[in-house]
Amino acid sequence: MSSGPDKENDMNTHADRPMTPEEEIAALRANPQPTLRAVSPGMEAHLYTPKKVLDHGFVRVVDYMGDDAAIVQAARVSYGAGTKKARDDSGLIRYLMRHWHSTPFEMCEIKLHVKLPVFVARQWIRHRTANVNEYSARYSILDREFYIPEPDALAAQSTVNNQGRGAVLDGAEAARVLEMLKADAGRAYDHYQEMLSQDGQQGLARELARMNLPANIYTQWYWKTDLHNLFHFLRLRADAHAQYEIRVYAEAIAEMVKDWVPAAYGAFEDYRMGGVQLSAKGVEVLKRRLAGEVVTQENSGMSKGEWREFEEVFG
């Protein structure tokens, strides 16, 4: 049977040029395919839909594999065929999370398309248990898009944390810093364009012209990882102590993961995000307090940093 002229025209619309990522996604959404694989209704709602982050960034789910049932299936195979089902699925997932059994969670995978500032990407790439393919400025020309923070995101260096922020800059100082950021970014990009070799004219190769661009320019990548390592990423980067600019990406991903694997995410919230880990000294201090003893940092055996973190949780 003929597909008809309209469908043929739709398929050939972009024959004269490569489709943009947005056009590829629109084409995929317009032609859904039947599948026999496990499908998560919650994640299907997120598939291909970009979630805006920062001023020009986004996170988009490109593909995923598995769901809560896949975690349970992988865990129960170790019991052997015919073994009695001792727990319901949610209970088993919570058991696995509670006892740090990571392999069943590795059976689920997710692939994300992320647009992010370069300095955020350099933090993100420290999570090495992933497959990454980044936009290449050797082959393509970067867009004139830079991350410019909102005034309330501009803060001084923390006086107690060498990796954190302190008080927010006042209005006049914040305005001055923003103008400097915008001017520096604009000047660097103007020079980038001037240095590029285009249309056969003399100039620098793209791989060299890019080296003067600031770290707040946007890049893009595809990032694929399994659920166990994604939970590790979220535990660190969605935490209140993480840098704001990467934390908002982690929070956006967390919302998607919550819909994808609700039982696993619930266990993750309880045992990782909402739970605490105690050292042997921390357990000892708790026991001494419960016995009625007054324990201070000086007689606890803890460092000042350990004691501060202990007090933040238990007061």
Instruction: Give the CATH number of the domain where residue 98 resides.
Output: 3.30.1360.170
Mean pLDDT of the 266-285 span: 89
3-state secondary structure of 24: helix
Establish if 306 belongs to a structural domain. yes
Establish if 4 belongs to a structural domain. no
Same domain assignment for residues 82 and 47: yes
Same domain assignment for residues 181 and 262: no
Same domain assignment for residues 188 and 143: no
pLDDT tens, 78-108?
655 444 554 588 899 999 999 999 999 999 9
Establish if 5 belongs to a structural domain. no
Amino acid at 86: A
Establish if 207 belongs to a structural domain. yes
CA 127 → CA 217, 273, 283, distances in Å? 21, 18, 30
- Burial annotation 120-159 (CB, 10 A radius, 16+ → b, else e): bbebbeebeebeeeeeebeeeebeebbbebeeebbeeeee
Q: How many domains does the chain have?
A: 3
Any idea what DSSP says for residue 54? T
Establish if 208 belongs to a structural domain. yes
Checking if the pLDDT of 209 tops 80, the result is yes
Q: Which listed residue (165, 235, 237, 272) is catalytic?
A: 237
Checking if the pLDDT of 1 tops 50, the result is no
Checking if the pLDDT of 146 tops 60, the result is yes
| 83 vs 147: which has the higher pLDDT | 147
Establish if 66 belongs to a structural domain. yes
Give me the DSSP letters along 81-109. TT----S-HHHHHHHHHHTT--GGGGG-E
3-state secondary structure of 72: helix
Same domain assignment for residues 233 and 114: yes
Establish if 12 belongs to a structural domain. no
Establish if 2 belongs to a structural domain. no
Adjacent-strand bridge partners of 157:
165
Same domain assignment for residues 24 and 79: yes
Q: Which of 198, 214, 230 is the last residue of a domain?
A: 214
Look up the domain containing 288 and give its range.
280-315
Active site residue 29: no
Same domain assignment for residues 191 and 221: no
* 104 half-sphere exposure, CB direction, 13 A CA radius: 26
Checking if the pLDDT of 13 tops 80, the result is no
| 26 vs 106: which has the higher pLDDT | 106
Phi, psi of 168 (to 5 degrees): -70, 140
Any idea what DSSP says for residue 184? H
Percentage of the chain beyond pLDDT 70 is: 88
Q: Which of 185, 214, 243 is the last residue of a domain?
A: 214
Same domain assignment for residues 90 and 32: yes
Same domain assignment for residues 167 and 308: no
| 300 vs 14: which has the higher pLDDT | 300
| 138 vs 22: which has the higher pLDDT | 138
Alpha-helical runs (H) found in the chain: 5-12, 21-30, 41-44, 68-76, 89-98, 118-124, 171-195, 206-209, 227-237, 244-260, 262-268, 280-290, 297-300, 304-314
Determine the pLDDT at residue 182: 96
